[in-house]
Every structure is written in C-alpha cells, then in structure tokens.
C-alpha cells in the first residue's frame, strides 16, 4: 500500500510538472495584448467603451461625419504605442481582433520598431469583431515597440496578438475568439 501511494504521488508530480512546462511553452508562443493596455496614445486614436469587446473596451479611430467616400482617413497623427518584451527570438505573425464600420473604415497601419508601416485590414467583414491577419515580423528577444496608427475613421481594435512561427505549419493557425491577455510581456 505504501509503495502504491508513492507511485501515485510521483505520478501526480510528473503530470503537474509536464503540464506546467507545456503551459509555459504555449504562453511563450502566443503574446496577447488588450488594445487599451498601451504604453502611450495620441489623438485622434482613443479608448472607447464597447460591450462587445473582450474586456468592455477597445481603441478606435473615431468616425468622422460625414464619413469618407474614399480611403483618405484622419489627417492627424493618431496612434497607439505598445512596449513589449519578446521572450524568444523568431518570426511572429501579427493578428488583431478588429471591428470595421464599412469599406472606408476597415483598416489601420501597423509599424514595429523603426520598420516601414504596413496596412492591416481592408477585408469586407463589417460591424462585428473578427480576427484580421497582419504582417510577419522578425523580432529579437527583448524590448520592442508595436505601433497602431490611424488609417481610416470608424475602425476599432479590441486585442492584438503575436504568434511565434517556430515551424512553417504554425502559420496556418487562425484565432477564433477573444484570447486571454498575457500581461507578463507588457513593459510599463
């Protein structure tokens, strides 16, 4: 009986350790940030209350009426800056959980560190939160800046994430729901 108890304890300990290591590996391969948890923000980008956002808030480029009939967007320098600590060097895929007003309110610019900005969005899913695939980023271990910049009025962002592409098959992953924030990677 004593021997059986020792085996049971060792078994539970083994399962706990393997589970802990597995959970740490999953966390390190996916960095999730609530859009309202930024390092700094510049108008006209702003934080808004939104009951459909994962924690009830999002960032947005406010809708300007009359709304644009082309993709000219706001003429200000609105942006949101995030300072994050990347745990492992590698290629990461950027994803953002966005809400688009219409075809002239469906994109942001994304920039990381001092790279040129790229367009995120321009898909045709309107008036509901959905995940939008962004650029692939090569990031070293350490501190990096991710910048969300105004492009078109009426666009909202609830969350964004970085998915570590440690194998080519990992780039097939698509998020489907709001994710749990990994706040340990946010630098204040």
Condensed to tens digits (0 to 9), the pLDDT of residues 127-177 reads 999 999 999 999 999 999 999 999 999 999 999 999 999 877 789 999 999
**Which residue is associated with the tokens 């399962």?**
15
How big is the CA angle at 164 (ends 85 and 111), to the nearest 5 degrees? 60
Q: What digits encode the pLDDT tens for the residues 2-55?
A: 665 554 555 444 444 333 333 333 445 999 999 999 999 999 999 999 999 999
Tokens of residue 155, six digits: 């666009």
CA distance 164 to 169: 11
Of 116, 19, 7, 31, give the one whose Cα is nearest residue 82: 31
Q: What is the pLDDT of residue 28?
A: 59
Q: What is the pLDDT of residue 152?
A: 92
pLDDT band of residue 72 (cuts 50, 70, 90) is low
Domain range enclosing 158: 31-185
Question: How many domains does the chain contain in total?
Answer: 1
The answer to whether position 99 is within a domain reads: yes
For residues 94-118, give the mean pLDDT.
96
Is the Cβ–Cβ distance between 155 and 60 less than 8 Å? yes
The answer to whether position 178 is within a domain reads: yes
The answer to whether position 96 is within a domain reads: yes
Q: What is the pLDDT of residue 4?
A: 53
Rg for the chain, CA atoms, rounded: 20
The answer to whether position 22 is within a domain reads: no
* Chain length of the chain: 188
């Amino acid at each position: 009986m004593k021997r059986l108890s020792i085996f049971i304890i060792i078994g539970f300990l083994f399962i706990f350790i393997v589970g802990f290591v597995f959970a740490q590996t999953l966390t390190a391969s996916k960095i999730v940030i609530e859009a309202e948890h930024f390092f700094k923000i510049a108008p006209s980008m702003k934080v808004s209350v939104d009951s459909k956002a994962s924690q009830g808030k999002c960032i947005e480029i406010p809708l300007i009426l009359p709304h644009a009939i082309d993709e000219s967007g706001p003429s200000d320098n609105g942006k949101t800056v995030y300072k994050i600590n990347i745990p492992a060097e590698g290629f990461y895929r950027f994803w953002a959980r966005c809400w688009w007003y219409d075809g002239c309110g469906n994109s942001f610019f994304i920039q990381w560190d001092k790279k040129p900005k790229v367009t995120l969005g321009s898909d045709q899913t309107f008036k509901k939160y959905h995940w939008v695939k962004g650029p692939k980023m090569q990031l070293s271990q350490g501190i990096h800046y991710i910048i969300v910049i105004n492009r078109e009025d009426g666009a909202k962002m609830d969350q964004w994430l970085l998915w570590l592409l440690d194998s080519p098959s990992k780039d097939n992953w698509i998020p489907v729901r709001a994710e749990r924030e990994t706040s340990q990677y946010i630098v204040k």
